[in-house]
Amino acid sequence: MIDEPALLDPPMEGALHEGRQLHLAIATPKGLHVTPTLYALGPGRLWFFAASATVKAKQIATGDRGGALVRAGARSVVVTGRLERLDLMAPNQLAGAARAVPGVPQAVLGYAARNAADLLGFALDTAAGRGGRGVPPRRILISLVPDRVALLDGDVLVEARGAWPGSAGDERRMRLGRPVASGSQTPPVPSVLAWAGPDGPLALPAHWSPETGRAAVPGDLMAISRAERTGPAALVLDEYGRPGPAGKQGCLLRGEGCFGSAHGGWRWLRIDPDRLTTWDGLHTETKDLP
């Protein structure tokens, strides 16, 4: 587990152990980017792998900041912190990350044990020809070292630890969660929003209404993050169909966003997307939107 008693308490640790995927938000030259990934817990860190051909592997450098979200039922754990990149095939990177290297064997073993079903699914997809042709790209090991953590139950901010730039006040501990109401007949879809905080990207739990083009984000979380009202946004909706790469589907909207009114503990965000990325298994397509 993450050995940071100043940041994590048992409910936070429980949600991190229970969660299936981690959604990571990072900044890129083309704007914010957020996608799901498998992960493992280690002393003081969240660990995950990224294929060398992916945006995560190409853009993340040691010292960058990132935001992560782990969902476990109605609970969400929001994490921000420093990213460290470890290419196990590059001795110079290992030498430059001496503090992280001792934890690598435990991280790799923990990742393999925690995600055994997915690793088996990857092998089965590859054997069946559903994992793409050729040799799979090498994997880059990346860790997120948390400095802020928040636990939410629905829209209610249960607890926040670390140097969050703002405060939502004591009211957050007394209000009961309320369902998101979009005013449309289609229920809002669980999603993850990448948004810019004062010192780096945030990955926020959201509910997306495709009919209105709006997303709802817990208002108290926005308050403690002190995020801007307008700015670049990225919103991901994905399905974890079954273990293995062929069972993953999703889409990523990127563009500009603007927060508006609050309703029932949620803040509403309107997104004007200009790019759409979709994936079905290993097939990925990106196109500009009118």
pLDDT of residue 81: 96
Using pLDDT thresholds of 50, 70 and 90, give the confidence band for residue 134.
Answer: low
Higher-pLDDT residue of 34 and 247 is 34
For the stretch 29-88, pLDDT in tens is: 999 999 999 999 887 889 999 988 899 999 999 899 999 999 999 999 999 999 998 887
Amino acid at 153: D
Q: Which residues contact 203 (CB under 8 A, 6 or more apart)?
A: 23, 24, 25, 34, 67, 68, 69, 78, 79, 192, 193, 194
Q: Which helix (H) or strand (E) holds 211?
A: none
Q: Is the pLDDT of residue 98 over 50?
A: yes
Closest CA to 85 of 48, 36, 32: 48
Mean pLDDT within 136-141: 82
Are 125 and 246 spatial neighbours (Cβ–Cβ below 8 Å)?
A: yes
Q: What is the DSSP secondary-structure string of 36-83? A: EE--EEETTEEEEEEETTSHHHHH--TT-EEEEEEEETTEEEEEEEEE
What percent of the chain shows pLDDT beyond 70? 80
Structure tokens at 17: 């152990």
Domains of the chain: 10-288 (2.30.110.10)
Residue 66 identity (one-letter amino acid): G
The first and second tokens of residue 151, run together, are: 């636990």
- Which amino acid appears at position 240 of this protein? Y
Cα gap 122→281, rounded to integer Å: 11
Choose between 63 and 6: higher pLDDT. 63
Six-digit token string for 199: 């010192």
H runs (alpha helix) in 175-240: 219-225
